[in-house]
Structures are given as C-alpha cells and as structure tokens.
Chain A
Amino acid sequence: MLPQSEPNIPWKRIYIFILAWNGALIALFYLITLIFNHK
C-alpha cells in the first residue's frame, strides 16, 4: 500500500511511544494532583 520510494517506518514503535507518552503525562498530572491539590 505504501509507495515503494518511502522508507519503512517502525509504526509499532511509534504507536507504543505515543501511548507511553500519554501514560507519562497522566502519571505526571497525577503527581501534580497529589502534591498540589488539597481539596
């Protein structure tokens, strides 16, 4: 499906990276909530 001239892209790794990035942001936000939110 991809044109022959385009190099292969490691899509699986990119998708895992994006999901990990989302997870890391959620973890960071949870940490901020625990540290700063008092209500």
Chain B
Amino acid sequence: MKIKKFMKETLPVHIMLILFSVIMVGPFLWMFLTSIKTYEETIRIPVQFFPKAVQWVNYQIVYHKFPFLTLYFNTFFVTLITIIAQLLVVSLAAYAFSRLDFPGRNIIFLLMLGLMMVPGQIFIIPRFQLMVQLNITNTLTALILPGIFNIFGVFMMRQFFSSIPKELDEAALIDGCGYFVIYWKILLPLTKPGLVSLGIMVMLNTWKELMWPIIVNRSMHKMTLSAGLAMLIGEHTTYYEQVMAGAVISVLPMIIIFAIFQKQFVAGIARAGLKG
C-alpha cells in the first residue's frame, strides 16, 4: 500500500524534479566538462563527453591571458561599495518618506515612481557623456555611481518602514531622541529583512550587468567579470576549452555562495518580488 502510494504520488514528482534539475544544471556540467578537455577533444565528432585526462592547464592559460583576479576584485569592490552606499542613501530617504512630513513629499515620491518606470536605455547616452566630461570613464567610480540611486529600493524600504507602528517613533520622540537616532538605532534594525533583500538584489544586478560596464570601461583592468567574459568571446572564439574555463572561474564562486546561503537568497529575491 505504501509502495503503491510512493509509485503513484511521490515517484512522478521526483522524476519531474530530476528532469527540471537536469535541464537547469546540465548546461553548467557541460561547461565544466568542456573546460577540462583538450582542444582536440572539444572539437571531436561525434561529441566526446569525458576527457581522457583532466586538463587543468586550461585554467592556467586563461588565468594568464586574462586578469581574472583584477576582474574579480573590480566586481567585488563595485558590488560592495554600491550595496553599502545604496542601503544608506536609500533607507535614509525611505525613512523620510515614510515617517517625516515635509512639503511636497507626496509629489516628489510620485515623480520618483514615474522615473522608476523609465527603461534604462534612456539614461545611458547622457550618463556616458557625463562620465566623459567628468573624466571618469574607465574607473570603478563610474560603475558604482549610477547604481547607488535605486528608486525601487526607496519604494521597497518605505513599505518596510511603514509597516512598523508609529507608536515606536512617538515614544522615542517623547524621550527626546532626534530623528536620525530613531532612524539609526530603532527603525533600521527592525527593517533588516528588507535591507538584506535589497542587498541581495543589488548584488545580483551588479554582478549580472553587462551593457553599462562594457560601454564605460574599455580597459581590461577596470572591467567587471561580465564585461571581461564578453571580451573572452571576441578574442578566443575558437578555443572553447579556454572560454569555458573562464566561464567556470566566473560562475563557480557565486554558485558556491548561493549553495551555502540559499535560504537567504531565495527569501531575499522572493521578498523583493512580492513587495512589488
């Protein structure tokens, strides 16, 4: 009876899930397998699945051809600074929109929401011209600056702030606390889930972004991982075992981090999505 139930209900689910998992993860396994073959093994017809011997040398070659350490540092640095700066700027503004009364508050907020709806391409040419004028093309600053002022972040954090009862503020005010203290010591800790969510979203977006980095930073040593990978294609279209090695170097750390922190990741992404 129990086996019958297993066969009828649980097994089909497992089969489906295995199928979906293979579809999603399979390509990455292929990426890895390709990266440890020799060039001849990658172009063999019919396709050879496994290499005769693991070619770690591919990784060495790519690592020397491309400054992966620099790319990693750049991406990491840009992500970290963007997150810290954004969380501060955005949460401060969100607190003000949620808790403080000032003339024009609602109009300004609505205008911001309107601006949020505008697709990114509208801003790219003027921002690029601005970077050229300020002479900060090919710098990490140029990658960080536009990303700090995230309107969706303000919107989301404001939702979080608004869900905290106002009595808390009022009690603190009566005790003589200033607005900043209320924000910093009381409300911010209470909105930690929102901050984590936002941080994760920013990290993913900075990591994934391609167009802006390739436009504004042309020098290899100032690129992010994404931009660097795009360059990999331009120069090494034929040696895919090296290209794949580069790709593995780029995606593996994020996958490992994700595997460890998957609960927070998923919760963060879901929360950001559902608040919308």
Q: Do A and B come from one complex?
A: no
Chain B residues at the A interface, C-beta cutoff of 8 Å? none
Binding site for B on A (CB under 8 A): none
